[in-house]
Amino acid sequence: MGYEPPFSTAVGDGARSPLAHPRWGIAWSNTDGISHTALIQNALLKCTFALTLEACVVYGYERVLEEWASLQESQPQDVSPRLAEWVDGQLVNIAKGIVLAEEDLRRAQAERHGPPYPGEAKC
């Protein structure tokens, strides 16, 4: 899922993440020094849809999936079955939203510019 939203606040190494902002409540005393991995995993443990979605916008869906798998493997005591069910559900819904957004983008491009690929029929 390679969708990169135009409003992305993606951060590179060394840059302060929007997830470190105090409003999210997942980076306590060292908001500039906390690792991106810790921020993503803390966001997943907090288990709110807005925070999980923000992590996906900032770091990309695939990276969040990787951190979720890593968290479940490295800290199983922190991931209850109920938490796993909720986070998995959030990630499924985000994936569905990405697919729908990609379809809408392709449709809008086709309407504006014709078929995106030679020989492809316009819908």
The CA-based angle 47-52-57, given to 5 degrees, is 170
Residue 2 falls within a domain, yes or no?
A: no
Instruction: Report pTM.
Output: 0.73
CA-wise closest residue to 96 among 63, 53, 66: 53
Range of the domain at 99: 18-113
pLDDT in tens, 58-117: 999 999 999 999 999 999 999 999 999 999 999 999 999 999 999 998 888 888 776 556
Q: What is the mean pLDDT of residues 14-36?
A: 78
pLDDT in tens, 74-88: 999 999 999 999 999
Residue 72 falls within a domain, yes or no?
A: yes
Residue 58 falls within a domain, yes or no?
A: yes
Residue 120 falls within a domain, yes or no?
A: no
- C-beta separation of 42 from 29 below 8 A: no
Residue 123 falls within a domain, yes or no?
A: no
Task: Take residue 28 and report the two structure tokens written for it.
Answer: 């306590």
Using 50, 70 and 90 to split pLDDT, how confident is the model at 31? low
Q: How many domains does the chain have?
A: 1
pLDDT at 6 (0 to 100): 36
